[in-house]
Structure 1
Amino acid sequence: MRYTAGECLEVGDKRVIIGIDIGTTSTKSVAFGMDGIMLGSYAVEYPLIQDQPGWAEQDPDIIVQSAIESVNGVLSRNGIDGTSVAGAGISSAMHSLIAVGAGGRPLTRSITWADGRSEHQARIIRKQPGGLDVYRRTGTPIHPMSPLSKLVWLRENQPDVWTSADKFVSIKEYLIYRLFGEWVVDHSLASATGLLALDTLEWDEGALAIAGIDKSRLSELRPGTYRLQGLATADAEAMGLKKNTPFFLGGSDGGMANVGVGAIGPGEMAVTIGTSAAVRMMTDKPLTDEKQRTFCYNVAKSSYIIGGATNNGGIVLQWMRDALYAGEKSTEELLGAVSGIAAGSEGLLFLPFLTGERAPIYNSEARGTYFGMHLGHRREHFVRAGLEGVMFAVLSVAEALKDLAGPAREVRASGGFAKSPLWLQMLADMLGQEVQVPRVTEASALGAAVLAMQGLGEMQDWSTIKEWTPIAHRVEPNLRDAELYRELFTVYEQLRGALPEHFASISAFQRKHS
């Protein structure tokens, strides 16, 4: 495991809220004052286990230990006394699944959102007469990322695990059970399972029937402000907290990120690019798409997020650094090297589907594709086209949201890409509108901290978030490049639409010969 400490501010006698963010590559704990100011952060990294083609798993016990160490790290490295911690909220990546047996013993690793083993099961569910209805009711696209299709895979391929399992839970539920002995899940995370009815916020009987389980094998549903208390002495000491420090369930990382960047009103769109990418807007009622291009998940009470996540964000830049430059350049140097290449990469296009794709096409067999190469292209063109391909994927989700809920009146950017002027300019140009960068670096953790504050009665609603997320800078679109990208986006969509049959063929070839 690797550890990363963030910057810290003077703590003094402030009361502190901890936001714990369980991510794909690390768990990060972030300390905030009751005024929303970040006091410090500490991350513990862990590996993604991919010992079979298409599988992407993690060790749940390592993640539990990482969460404990991250809390201790943010306190000890930033001079924060655990007695000043008023509470903690938890954000978590969506779509993970763990089968657990008697006494909460894990029978499987944590099967992550990136795991594609249930592609066949997802395809069958999608083709069933009620497949579209399941999506309409639950808001979760039928895709291998969904715990619904993962459950069917487990039932069909690991019957011993299936019959031995007492519960099927996410990594956050497993952490909560290990710390507090309760099987509970917040509505926000549950609504990304494909098993929760959005209109009632109860487990959906039709989806449960497809999965082959009843609700007794799932956790009890609770709001994100649900309080947990009574840490074991050993866990409290390991974290550096009091035994009675209250924890609150919080929500999913996507919903918490929208809260954390202040994209909480109608038409306020959040774009986040880290390893993957996501485009989200908040609504006051469930909205699903007839073409199944977008998700709809609950955030809290009558707040929902609509949007889509793409598989391939910063991971594309990392791949290009290693594949095209053999690690000779840092990612920052790569971004600098392509700044002299004009928008459009002289006609070179890239479909950025290096790990399949989620929104808006939900095709785990999709593959990365360069198109339009000629003798004048150099490595820098391939890198620029790669970055543009990531942004075209983001734009395709934004266009689906426009069809569903109307145009965005405000765009807020967060994640690692928001530190890159080049990528921010690309986003503004492709959207054809101003992009705002809030002064917040840990949006999901801040969102979880906000729900903890609500649970403590320190905050009545989210209006205060706007004061906590002032805009650090704004990026205006270049109108000439915006027009060029609109023209090229048409070609991108035509190319993407022409290749699914060929994606399937090359995927079958790879499976046969791997």
Structure 2
Amino acid sequence: MITRDAVAGVDLGTTMSKVLLRTADGEQLALVETRTPWTTTPDGGTELDAERFVGLAVDLLRRAYEQAAAIAPLRVSAIAVAGLAESGVLLDGSGSTRTPVVAWFDRRGAHQIESMSLREPNFGPAFVRRTGLPLDCQASVAKLLWFVDDGLELTSAHRWLSVPEYVVHRLGGELVHEPSLASRTGLLDQATGAPWTEGAKHLGLPPTLLPARQPYGESVGRLAHNGLPAGLRDAALVVGGHDHAVAAIGVGATGPDELFNSTGTADVVVRSLPGALTDEERENLVGNGISVGMHVLPGTSALIGGVRGGLLLRRVLALLGTTTAAERDALDEAALAVGSLPVGLEVSGAGPTGDDVVLRVRDGADPATIWAAATRYTARETKALLDLMEHVVGPHSRAVASGGWTRMASVRTAKSAVIDHLTFSESSEPGVAGAALLAQRAIVPSPV
């Protein structure tokens, strides 16, 4: 029997982690997933030992390989690991981990950032203009400041790796930083693409925390992990990058001024833009809730913003008692027939920080009209975010939406009504699909 050649895409996500095996011509051989096993600290924090992420990736790769190899012999030539940003691990000079991986949404570091902002009121604007990020507890530097206050002494020998970078390193790759992931740390100067030495020193951090940069499209080592089948051994290893940018690659929305709209718990937009933005543009965008960083692709910026549209839709479905697939399909179809909404029917609560759903109902509202109101409201919130983005950088030329909510015709209709040049991708897993494309490029250089 002929041995098939394949590549693997890994997506280590906040909620779910996945591995896709596919052939060079795009045939899917296996797709496996599992929940990312965060642990809760006694004081309510969220973290995970870095080795658990390695074990998670190894287990998913093994399962995917065994599933595909049960059909025909298989050889995996390359593996690209993408995933969540901001969360990472600190290594000392011997390569040993000194910290757990703290979840990006964990509030550790908030006190340190607040104290610094009070002491140094001019540093916040400089941070925004240099890094393209707001000065808050989500950026990796906030967690680093918390570790320092907790007693960790940092030296020039320490290195900070995001989760995908660390997993690739433990599988056999070199210590590297990948630009789209490093852009979420607060350690990278977006104007130059180099580490922001002055900012690190101002924060009291070593300016050498980021390792060398991964050359785009090149592998950084070969898989040498004993816990994986022989058919995976010696595969080229690549750090895929930040999951949102990699998902944009997965649906092909990476051309100049193209837009990717991911519709999960958050409704995220990723805009690809040639070159680097100015300090003023970064400041304007960040002030409107849009971060600016380097894309996975060379010479390209990624503008990223989001609203909690999917969270609102999920809560509205629960409120309406829609629990089965059949009930959801019926509601979806009924919402398509809704024209003008009843006067006074309002749904809100899907903004960037909105945690509550506010529903105002008068006579004439039924489940179909409430659902139609919810889909139209979340679409308008995404459009408002795009308007803020386009006020600074101009209109997009093409938009592609993907994700679980776009399987509903009512959601697609609401989005199409307000987002220009919008199409929908059939890819159900753009993150791992994009990672697989980057793995393929490491062995056969080509555009992605």
Equivalent in 127, 130, 133 of residue 134 of structure 1: 127
Distance 1:29 1:194 in 2: 29
State the match for 1:452 in structure 2. 439
Distance 1:108 1:331 in 2: 43
Q: Aligned pair in 2 of structure 1 residues 172, 344: CA closer, same or farther (>3 Å)?
A: farther
State the match for 1:94 in structure 2. 85
Q: Aligned pair in 2 of structure 1 residues 335, 95: CA closer, same or farther (>3 Å)?
A: farther
State the match for 1:505 in structure 2. none
Q: Aligned pair in 2 of structure 1 residues 126, 303: CA closer, same or farther (>3 Å)?
A: farther
| Shift in Å, 1:400 | 1.7
Question: Is the CA contact (8 Å cut-off) linking 2:159 and 2:211 kept in structure 1?
Answer: yes
State the match for 1:154 in structure 2. 147
State the match for 1:309 in structure 2. 306
**1:247 lines up with 2:247 in the alignment:** no
SS of 1:232's equivalent? coil
State the match for 1:276 in structure 2. 266
**CA deviation string 1:37-57 (max 9, x = no partner):** 433311122334445777443
Equivalent in 179, 183, 205 of residue 187 of structure 1: 179
Distance 2:399 2:147 in 1: 40
Superposition pairs of residues 67-216 of structure 1, within 5 angstroms: 67-79=57-69, 84-101=75-92, 103-123=94-114, 128-156=121-149, 158-160=150-152, 166-180=158-172, 182-216=174-208
What TM-score do the two structures reach when normalised by structure 1?
0.75
SS of 1:78's equivalent? helix
Question: Is the CA contact (8 Å cut-off) linking 1:286 and 1:296 kept in structure 2?
Answer: no
Equivalent in 391, 395, 399 of residue 407 of structure 1: 395
Distance 1:12 1:405 in 2: 51
Question: Is the CA contact (8 Å cut-off) linking 1:107 and 1:161 kept in structure 2?
Answer: no
State the match for 2:215 in structure 1. 223
What TM-score do the two structures reach when normalised by structure 2?
0.84
Distance 1:53 1:368 in 2: 24
Unaligned runs of 5+ in 1: 1-10, 358-362, 463-514
Equivalent in 346, 349, 370 of residue 347 of structure 2: 349
Letter in 2 for 1:436: T
Question: Is the CA contact (8 Å cut-off) linking 1:192 and 1:297 kept in structure 2?
Answer: yes
Distance 1:206 1:331 in 2: 54
Distance 2:326 2:12 in 1: 26
Q: Aligned pair in 2 of structure 1 residues 461, 50: CA closer, same or farther (>3 Å)?
A: same
State the match for 2:447 in structure 1. 461
State the match for 1:258 in structure 2. 248
**CA deviation string 1:231-264 (max 9, x = no partner):** 3351333xx5343211112221122111111112
Q: Which has the higher helix share?
A: 1
Distance 2:172 2:247 in 1: 25
State the match for 1:333 in structure 2. 327
Question: Is the CA contact (8 Å cut-off) linking 1:350 and 1:388 kept in structure 2?
Answer: no
Letter in 2 for 1:403: H
Question: Is the CA contact (8 Å cut-off) linking 2:257 and 2:396 kept in structure 1?
Answer: yes
Q: Aligned pair in 2 of structure 1 residues 142, 234: CA closer, same or farther (>3 Å)?
A: same
Count of aligned pairs between the two proteins: 434
Distance 1:394 1:48 in 2: 29
Distance 2:409 2:184 in 1: 32
Unaligned runs of 5+ in 2: none
SS of 2:406's equivalent? helix
| Shift in Å, 1:381 | 6.1
SS of 1:460's equivalent? coil
Distance 2:128 2:203 in 1: 14
| Shift in Å, 1:412 | 0.6
Question: Is the CA contact (8 Å cut-off) linking 1:148 and 1:193 kept in structure 2?
Answer: yes
Question: Is the CA contact (8 Å cut-off) linking 2:187 and 2:210 kept in structure 1?
Answer: no
Give me the identity figure in percent: 22
**1:63 lines up with 2:53 in the alignment:** yes
